[in-house]
Amino acid sequence: MKDLNRKLPIGVQSFDILRQENFLYVDKTSYIYDLAHSGRQYFLSRPRRFGKSLFLSTLAAYWEGKKELFAGLSIEKMEEGSENAFQPYPVFYFDFNGENYQQDTALEDALDKMLQKWEALYDCVPQGSLSARFQTLLMKAKAETGKKCVVLVDEYDKPLLEVLENKEREEHNKAVFKGFFGTLKSYDAYLQFVFITGVTKFSQVSIFSDLNQLEDISFDEEYSAICGLTQEEIEQNFQLELKQLAEKHKLTEDEALQKLAAMYDGYHFFPGCPGLYNPFSLLNALKKRQFKAFWFSTGTPTFLVKRVQEARLNANRFTDKTLCADMDALTDYRYENPDPVPLLYQTGYLTIQGFNERRQVYILGFPNDEVKYAFLKSLLPAYTPAAIANRGTDVFALCDCLEAGDTDGARDILTALFAGIPYTTDAAPFEHYFQSVLYIVFTLLGQFVQCEVHSSRGRADCILETEEFIYIFEFKLDKSAQEALAQIEEKVYAAPFAADQRQLFKIGVSFDSEKRNLSEWLVKA
């Protein structure tokens, strides 16, 4: 089987290397043809590790005239018969990946290093400010080649996202960008094509305020699949890998594809468009033949968790279709905005799940299981620091108790989790923690056992099923556990399980908002 392994481009961001070293490539070059022939200056926002850098590298190869790299791809046929196809242009590729922007002059140093490389190429003597040097390069490149210049900017916002907690450093880096990329507006006569990528579109950065001709295609339906992979692309290009994955896990190929979709599919950048897989996670899953949180593990969303907690956002809203934002909020990010939803969308933790035509707002939620479970797992310790692995007070320990029918053990763990909720004078009301912790805990349990969490009246708050046991929970805040148990009986929540052979537990739980803890726990078998 090992001889049949193909080279999957995990972490490969160079189109040259990908094509020269025979990595598998999902053809996105038709988008390059459309962009090059229909406009001049673009901006694209997508989450990290979503294929932006590879797409920009492909654009660079096209504008540098490397025709041989495009043999057999869509754009080769689309450009057939065109005299101007694959003509080399001077390309200025700004890559802001791989640098640490915490230091005082880190951004200026990165720009200086890139400019020096091109100044050596075009025999320019470095003189004046960074922006003046860039202007000189644009003029010199056009004079020498007779062609206008192509400017490609990869991850422009990394120097800003990296210093979000340092307002002074963020403002400094914004000012550097304003002075540098403002050049593009006044030197439009020297520009053939501009393409800028990032995770988010920061407000008051001159790339956007000065370049009013910059077309934002982040929400355009025709470009919704420009990065990421569709189900159709996966079925067409990864049949061998799907077969190997299915065989390892003793699944049919359809079952393996369904599991991949649940884990990694579900991104939408336009309402109703086909779902997109995160390419980083998908390729890792196919190569390693494992279903794991590959994308989430590459970055710790510490500041995002902090934002959600500070905003007092009830965790159940991530999946109940009540999170909304309009176009302005999603495209024009301001750090001082207390609402974390736009940033959660732009960084890939939320995605578009619908559109309310009347209110003109997007409905947002988790894209897939990878993001849902991993993000909630990171969120739980922020709400209750007692949720520490291997101390017997985490979701795994709770799952062990429930699978063993140990209701006393489950009670003790939930008691410890709620006792660990922080109490300060400016803390959110206990009801906020009560709802969020319950939702997070039982949603995380859904990874291992069948678990439904309800909030509407007429249905039990939570029904959890293991191989041997069924648990029906009703939770009350500042009411008795007996009242909760009585509701389970009165509403006949156990009726659907009348013929089930498993042991059934009805559990009424009471929480005390004044004491901020679980106060009563009644079990009826």
Q: What pLDDT shows up at residue 425?
A: 40
Classify strands 517-524 and 91-95 as parallel, antiparallel or unpaired. Answer: unpaired
Mean pLDDT lowest for which of 91-105, 139-153, 378-392, 435-449?
378-392
Average pLDDT value for residue range 68-78 = 97
Does pLDDT of 422 surpass 90?
no
Q: Sorting pLDDT into bands at 50, 70 and 90, what band is 8?
A: very high
What whole-number distance in Å separates Cα of residue 93 and Cα of residue 197?
12
Does pLDDT of 72 surpass 70?
yes
Residue 360 exposed, middle or buried by CB count within 10 Å (0-12, 13-18, 19+):
exposed
| Higher pLDDT pick, 435 / 235 | 235
| Alpha-helical segments (H) within 122-205 | 130-145, 158-161, 167-181, 183-186
Q: Sorting pLDDT into bands at 50, 70 and 90, what band is 134?
A: very high
Percentage of the chain with pLDDT > 90?
62
Name the nearest CA neighbour of 151 among 162, 138, 165, 132.
Answer: 138
Does pLDDT of 203 surpass 70?
no
- Give the Å distances, CA to CA, from 23 to 73, 90, 139, 414: 14, 27, 37, 49
Average pLDDT value for residue range 92-112 = 90
Q: What pLDDT shows up at residue 316?
A: 87
Average pLDDT value for residue range 108-112 = 95
Q: Sorting pLDDT into bands at 50, 70 and 90, what band is 212?
A: low
Residues 97/100/106/112 CA torsion (nearest 10 deg): -30
What whole-number distance in Å separates Cα of residue 361 and Cα of residue 178?
31
Average pLDDT value for residue range 356-368 = 94
Q: What pLDDT shows up at residue 327?
A: 86
Give me the residues paired with residue 472 across strands: 463, 506
Q: Sorting pLDDT into bands at 50, 70 and 90, what band is 213?
A: confident
What whole-number distance in Å separates Cα of residue 169 and Cα of residue 161?
11
Q: Sorting pLDDT into bands at 50, 70 and 90, what band is 457?
A: low
Mean pLDDT lowest for which of 34-38, 361-365, 454-458, 462-466?
454-458
Q: Sorting pLDDT into bands at 50, 70 and 90, what band is 1?
A: very low
Q: Sorting pLDDT into bands at 50, 70 and 90, what band is 456?
A: low
Does pLDDT of 402 surpass 60?
yes
Average pLDDT value for residue range 349-361 = 93
Q: Sorting pLDDT into bands at 50, 70 and 90, what band is 2?
A: very low
Tokens representing 457 are 């009246």
Strands, E, within 125-262: which ranges? 149-154, 191-198, 215-216, 229-230
Average pLDDT value for residue range 29-51 = 92
Tokens representing 139 are 């003029």
Q: For 226-237, what is each residue's pLDDT tens digit?
A: 999 999 999 999
Q: What pLDDT shows up at residue 182?
A: 78
What whole-number distance in Å separates Cα of residue 512 and Cα of residue 275?
43
C-alpha 450, offset from chain centre: 26
- Backbone angles phi and psi of 44, in degrees to 5: -130, 125
Q: Sorting pLDDT into bands at 50, 70 and 90, what band is 209?
A: low
Q: What pLDDT shows up at residue 386?
A: 81
Average pLDDT value for residue range 252-261 = 96
Q: Sorting pLDDT into bands at 50, 70 and 90, what band is 3?
A: very low
Average pLDDT value for residue range 458-478 = 91
Name the nearest CA neighbour of 324 among 353, 362, 365.
Answer: 362
Q: What kind of fold does domain 384-524 have according to CATH?
A: Trna Endonuclease; Chain: A, domain 1 (3.40.1350)
| Higher pLDDT pick, 224 / 186 | 224
Residues 210/214/220/226 CA torsion (nearest 10 deg): -120
Q: What pLDDT shows up at residue 514?
A: 84
Q: What pLDDT shows up at residue 520?
A: 95
Average pLDDT, the chain: 89
- pTM (2 d.p.): 0.88
Average pLDDT value for residue range 426-452 = 82
Question: Domain spans of the chain?
Answer: 2-223, 229-297, 299-369, 384-524
Average pLDDT value for residue range 125-153 = 95
Q: What kind of fold does domain 2-223 have according to CATH?
A: Rossmann fold (3.40.50)
Mean pLDDT lowest for which of 206-215, 440-449, 481-490, 516-525?
206-215
